[in-house]
Amino acid sequence: MDKMLVAVFDSEANAYEGSRILRELDAEGTLTLYAITVIAKDSTGMVTVKQPADEGPMGTAVGLLSGSLIGAVGGPAGIAIGAAAGTIGGALYDLTRVGVGEDFLGEVEQNLQRGKSAIVAEVWEDWVTPVDSRMEAAGGVVFRRARGDVVDAQIERDVAALKAEVAGLRSEYHEAAGAAKAKLRIKIDAAKAKLQALQEHAKKASDTARQETDAKIKSLQQRVAKAHGDARAKLEARIAEVRSASKQRIEKLHQAWEHTKEALAA
C-alpha cells in the first residue's frame, strides 16, 4: 500500500540514521522507497529542510508534505482554522494532493517538538513491523497514513455544492428584477469562477497523478529487471496495483472535470 510516512527523532543525527534504515529496507526489498527528506525544528520552532526530497514526480508528495509542516507555524490550531475555511487552495490544497488529511499533519506537528528532527517519506509498504521495529531501535516514533483520494473527494464535494448554489441562484435570478437581479448576477459569476478554479484543480491533479504513476512504474520496472523469483513476482504485482489505483483515480478526476464543465455550460 502506498503510504506517507513520518518518523520523528530526538536529534538530527538519529533522523539521518532513520533515512539510512529506510534506504536499507528498500535495498532489501522489504518496502519500496519512492522519495525521502530530512527536516528539523530548531529552538525557535522554525522547521527547515536538511536533506531535500528527491527531484522529479516521485518527490512531489514528500516535498508538499514537508512544505506543509514548514508552513504549519500556527500549530494544529492553525491547521484546523485553515481546514474550517473550506478552501481548496494554498497549503491545505497541497496537503490534499499528498493524499492525507489535516488531522495527520496536526498529529505529526504536535510530536515534532522544538529541537527534534524527522524523516518524511513516501513508501510502498505491505507490513508495518519491519519499519516500526527498526525505527524504534533508532529512537524514532513512526506516523503513517495510506495515501487516499483526499483531493478527489474534496473536489467532488465542492463541485456538488457549487452546482447546487449556481442552480439556486439562477432560479432566483429569473424571478428577480432591478438591483436584486444585478446582485444575483454578481453572485452567479463568482460561483462560476470558483467552478472554473475547481476545473483547473481537477486537471492539475490528474496530470500530477499520471506523472507520478509513470515515474513509479519506471522505477519499479528497473528493479524488476534486476530481481528474480519471489522478489520479481512481488514487484510485478506491485506495478499492477499501482496501475490499477492510478487508473481509478484519474477516472474520478476526469468525472469531476466533466461535472464542472457541465455546470459552467448550463
Rounded CA gap, 5 and 165, in Å? 38
Q: What does the pLDDT read at residue 45?
A: 86
Q: What is the pLDDT of residues 234-256, one digit of tens each?
A: 889 989 988 998 888 888 888 87
Rounded CA gap, 172 and 159, in Å? 20
Rounded CA gap, 257 and 254, in Å? 5
Q: Which of 137-141, 143-147, 204-208, 240-244 has the lowest mean pLDDT?
A: 204-208
Rounded CA gap, 121 and 144, in Å? 9
What DSSP string runs through 21-88? HHHHHHHHTSEEEEEEEEEEE-TTS-EEEEEPPPSSGGGHHHHHHHHHHHH-TTHHHHHHHHHHTT--
Rounded CA gap, 158 and 57, in Å? 26
Single-letter code of the amino acid located at 206: S
Bridge partners (DSSP) of residue 124 are 2, 32
Residue 132 C-alpha cell reads as 516500526
121 neighbors 62 (Cβ within 8 angstroms): yes
Q: What does the pLDDT read at residue 93?
A: 53
**Average pLDDT, integer, range 218-223:** 91
Look at the alpha carbons of 71, 202, 81, 79 in this order and tell me if their dihedral is positive or negative.
negative
Rounded CA gap, 232 and 211, in Å? 24
Q: Return the top range by mean pLDDT from 7-21, 38-52, 151-165, 166-180.
A: 7-21
260 neighbors 195 (Cβ within 8 angstroms): yes
Q: What does the pLDDT read at residue 75?
A: 45
Q: What is the pLDDT of residues 62-104, one digit of tens each?
A: 888 888 787 654 444 333 333 333 344 445 456 666 777 778 8
Helix (H) or strand (E) holding 120, with range, is strand 117-125
Single-letter code of the amino acid located at 69: L
Q: What is the residue-averaged pLDDT of the chain?
A: 83
If one compares 96 and 216, the residue with the highest pLDDT of the two is 216
Q: What is the pLDDT of residues 94-140, one digit of tens each?
A: 666 677 777 888 889 889 999 999 999 999 998 899 999 999 999 99
Q: What does the pLDDT read at residue 111?
A: 92
Q: What is the pLDDT of residues 167-202, one digit of tens each?
A: 899 899 989 999 999 999 999 999 888 888 888 878
Bridge partners (DSSP) of residue 8 are 118, 141
